[in-house]
Structure 1
Amino acid sequence: MKNASTNFRHLYYFWVVAKEGSITRAAERLGLAVQTVSSQITLLEQSVGKVLFTQQGRRLVLSEAGEVAHKYADQIFLLGEQMQEALDGAGNLRTRLTVGIADSLPKLTAFRLLETTTRLALPVRLVCYEDQHDALLADLALHKLDVVLTDRALSTGSTLRVFSHMLFESEMTVVGTAGLAAAYAEQFPKKLNGAPFLLPTRNNALRTKIDEWFELQGVHPDIVGEFEDNALLNTFGRRGLGLFFAPAALAVDLAEQLQAVLVGRVPQVREQFYAISNERKIQHPAVAAILASVHQGELGSG
């Protein structure tokens, strides 16, 4: 039986399930029991008189009616988020920019990109969160973030309604402390056989490219450590525990902050950096400023 009054709590649970593609994942994100979310979806379907989801394998997909409901839910909850931000910011002269930073993204890169926002005519209040790439995209799709800065593009198979914006790419370099550089810079890269290296873990977009380069060069390094967090990798590198890869575009910062000395350039390995948003065309003035600074060459290809 249809009910003219839609329960917005039920609608919100539906919206999260649609984003997650699974009641289990939606329940985890909402902090509720699976049975609770499932029953709320059932009540919503009874209220509107339509089946909103169909099962495809282990994944829930939207029915035709569900697609219609989802479009309206997107607008409703986005407006709700914007209203809350407007109320929070009432009397505050600063524009809020909520940024998700992938844990694999070099922190110096994130700083360089976000530094632009400190020079805008309109003051910006930065709110930064760090997490894994996929978790940040889920939060972006739920409009909890304005933009995600990451080192990988959106997967072609993704069902999330978000868009990748290529910022720039940089060739990589091998760097290390002065002592390590002195030991391995000569006859680079032939002398790298057995050299101590600190590398990103294999779930990092850059790691496959690095491994392929080692194989092409016939180099078998001594992998001292693998790190998911780039900042931790850099800390170990600064202590001289191994050579590591870094973007050529950040050479000056690396020298100043990590005392990293160039061992050799690796033009065959390039790292890409992206901004991912909910919009095809960036509307947020601070995000637009980041893109403009990149296009003007303030932080570009190495």
Structure 2
Amino acid sequence: MLNYKHLHYFRTVAKTGAINRAAEKLHLTPQTLSGQISILEERLGVALFRRTGRRLELTDAGRTALTYADEIFDVGAELEEALQNRLAARVHPFRVGIADVVPKTIAYQLLAPALTLAEPVKLVCKEDRLEQLAAELSIHRLDMVLADRPLPSNMDIKGYSHPLGECGIAFLAARAIAETLGQDFPANLHEAPLLIPGEDSALRVPLLRWLERRGIQPTIVGEFDDSALMSAFGQAGAGVFPVPLTTAQEVMRQYEVVELGQTLEIRERFFAISVERRLSHPAVVAVSEAARRRFQPQDAD
């Protein structure tokens, strides 16, 4: 049987990245801790760490073990909380994977309705690449995945993609940049510095094709997987950047940028991916119904 004390030691080392720091936190000597980790590796029959310089990095087996360890100790904490407060209403966890290309503001807008249910839920969000999240969904570690594309057909995972809605795109920029480009949209994007989504984003290819069809050749100065980071660079004056129309007003307020123009010819789409063909989880149903109200059908330019 697995020794959970060893698993706790392993998790601490994995989080700190070094035997010495973990030993100090655990009030053990480095030699003792190293020995305990070796015992766990022998028990599992795999190497959990590899040394890179002065740091310890997780192997593939180590990353898998850490995922399970996190879940085990999270469940343990929930058990302790439930037993210590049995009279309190039980809060059910709602575990959501968020593809790292989904804008944070969109994720909040889509998930917020789950927090208003009559039966309370505890929202647990995990951000990662869609492929990794889909794998965790398939083994029921997640209740739902938010993504900007359907589940890829080439993935050997059983799941269903439920459209949540779509919206057009606004192009924003710092006021100093906007003043140099003029108001003739979209011609003002020609030769303008442009920030675009990274290769994992479903928006990237339609955006580049739209520019090509229009005969617009901007100067691409940056590519970003994280939309919040792209907005921060846009705020600093690095270039023009696209955002979903449904979040444009909020992004303009938060980052103090202005709109150059907008188009409905490029659509950003959002999906809830689940293992259910028909949605039944109350929080997932709430997310889906609220999304239909928020994302109204729009006609292209």
TM-score, normalized by length of structure 2? Answer: 0.69
**Whole-angstrom distance in 1 between the partners of 2:60 and 2:279:** 28
Give the letter aligned to residue 281 of structure 2: H
Unmatched segments (≥5 aa) in structure 1:
1-24, 33-79
Equivalent residue number for residue 29 of structure 2: none
How far is 1:276 from its partner? 0.4
1:35-70 C-alpha deviation (Å, 9 max, x unpaired): xxxxxxxxxxxxxxxxxxxxxxxxxxxxxxxxxxxx
Unmatched segments (≥5 aa) in structure 2:
1-58, 67-71
Equivalent residue number for residue 224 of structure 1: 221
State the Cα RMSD in Å: 2.6
**Whole-angstrom distance in 1 between the partners of 2:278 and 2:236:** 43
1:131-161 C-alpha deviation (Å, 9 max, x unpaired): 0111111111111111000101112233211
- Match for 2:111 among 106, 114, 121? 114
Q: Secondary structure at the match of 1:205?
A: coil
Q: How is 1:159-198 mapped onto 2 (pairs within 5 angstroms)?
A: 159-198=156-195
**Whole-angstrom distance in 1 between the partners of 2:77 and 2:276:** 18
**Whole-angstrom distance in 2 between the partners of 1:249 and 1:191:** 22
Equivalent residue number for residue 289 of structure 1: 286
How far is 1:89 from its partner? 7.5
**Whole-angstrom distance in 2 between the partners of 1:185 and 1:284:** 49
Q: Secondary structure at the match of 1:173?
A: strand
Equivalent residue number for residue 150 of structure 1: 147
Equivalent residue number for residue 126 of structure 1: 123
How far is 1:85 from its partner? 11
Determine if contact 2:94/2:123 at 8 Å carries over to the other structure: yes
- Match for 1:95 among 92, 95, 103? 92
Percent identity between the two aligned chains? 37
Q: How is 1:38-57 mapped onto 2 (pairs within 5 angstroms)?
A: none
Give the letter aligned to residue 137 of structure 1: A
Q: Secondary structure at the match of 1:128?
A: strand
Determine whether 1:298 maps to 2:294. Answer: yes
- Match for 2:238 among 238, 241, 261? 241
**Whole-angstrom distance in 1 between the partners of 2:294 and 2:208:** 30
Count of residue correspondences: 229
**Whole-angstrom distance in 2 between the partners of 1:31 and 1:158:** 23
Determine if contact 2:146/2:270 at 8 Å carries over to the other structure: yes
TM-score, normalized by length of structure 1? Answer: 0.69
Give the letter aligned to residue 101 of structure 1: I
Determine if contact 1:171/1:301 at 8 Å carries over to the other structure: no
Determine if contact 1:249/1:301 at 8 Å carries over to the other structure: no
How far is 1:270 from its partner? 0.5
**Whole-angstrom distance in 2 between the partners of 1:131 and 1:156:** 19
How far is 1:29 from its partner? 6.0
Equivalent residue number for residue 268 of structure 1: 265
How far is 1:119 from its partner? 1.8
1:176-213 C-alpha deviation (Å, 9 max, x unpaired): 12222233241111122210111112232111111101
Give the letter aligned to residue 128 of structure 1: C
